[in-house]
Chains A and B, each alone.
Chain A
Amino acid sequence: MKGTEEEVIRQATTGDTKAMAQLFQRHYSFLYKYLLKVTMNPSTAEDIAQDTVIRCMENIGRYNGTSSFSSWMITIATRIYMDRIRRKKREQQWLQNERKQGIRNMRWQLESRNEEWSDLMEALSRLSEEHRIAILLKHYYGYSYEEIGSMLGVPAGTVKSRTAYGIKSLRKEMKMDV
């Protein structure tokens, strides 16, 4: 079954499981790559991608088309990730280890392709999740501050200051003039 995006979404929102399968398969790779950059950990990214697909399938009827389907998915994915971080806040040591393990995996994967895990990526991975997400959504995915604000449930001004602070921190880490 092949159809236009709108048609597949329409069928999926009415509970058509075949259309749902097609829709989520199309967007899975985008979702995984987004989560990989947010979590900086391939296995966490995969876990959250699966949780996100299930959550989206359960709530597909609520998708109203005001944003693109991929934006809707990454909004849900970001919220799942932030909830997970908040729940595990007490397990700081465990989170640190998981983060280090994730970065080791990513560095190994890049180096196995003769590519380098740069200082900039190291600095990005050291930023807090909130700052990293704001930078990614603004400067890599090209969303506006207002769009990011509604995705994260915070005012646009907060997103703007998180992005600016994140960039400033990166410059500091990279020892560029601040």
Chain B
Amino acid sequence: MSERSNEQNEQLIASLKAELSQIDSAFEKPAPPLDDFHKLAVHTLANQKRRWRNELFIFLLVAVFIVSAVFLAAWLQPVMLWIVHGGSMLVGAVILTLSLRSPESRDSHD
């Protein structure tokens, strides 16, 4: 970049800084009162705790449902459960092996 161009950049940046400082002083805005921030903090933290509690509750509910379904299946149809489990593990292993042996996969590993 030429010296003249650098000089012009510096000139532009200097004017930019001056204009932006002018905006800063023109839009001087006092912060809301401390009490408002305090109320907001209390409300925000309480909301967050409530959200976490709800999410934990939903997680536990879903987990209990899944575990009960598995136990129920094991109790009522143990053979069927093992077939489904074994089958899905076998399918997973086959897919993994095939994907690792495919030419695209070999190319990406090389």
The number of chain B residues with a CB under 8 A from chain A is 33
Question: Which residue from B19, B26, B29 sits with its C-beta under 8 Å from A120?
Answer: B19
Q: Which of B9, B15, B29, B31 contacts A25 (CB 8 A)?
A: B31
Q: How many of A's residues come within 8 Å of B, CB to CB?
A: 40
Do residues A177 and B4 form an inter-chain contact, with CB atoms below 8 A?
yes
- Do the beta carbons of B40 and A109 come within 8 Å of each other? no
Which residues from chain B contact A91 at a C-beta distance below 8 Å?
A: none
Query: Chain A interface mostly helix, strand, loop or mixed?
Result: helix
B45 pairs with A120, CB closer than 8 A? no
Asked if A24 contacts B37 (CB within 8 A), the reply is yes
Q: Is B83 an interface residue (CB 8 A)?
A: no
A71 located at the interface, meaning its Cβ lies under 8 Å from any Cβ of chain B in the complex: no
Instruction: Write the A15-49 contact mask toward B (1 if CB under 8 angstroms, else 0).
Output: 10110111011101100110011000010000000
Closest 10 pairs between A and B when the two form their complex, measured CB to CB:
A21-B37, A28-B31, A21-B38, A17-B41, A20-B41, A57-B44, A25-B31, A139-B13, A25-B37, A17-B42
Please name 5 further chain A to chain B contacts, defined as beta carbons within 8 Å, in addition to the given A29-B31, A171-B9, sorted by A numbering.
A22-B37, A28-B37, A33-B27, A58-B45, A115-B22
On A, residues with C-beta under 8 Å from B are 15, 17-18, 20-22, 24-26, 28-29, 32-33, 36-37, 42, 53-54, 57-58, 106, 109-110, 113, 115, 118, 120-121, 124, 135-136, 139-140, 167, 170-171, 174, 176-178
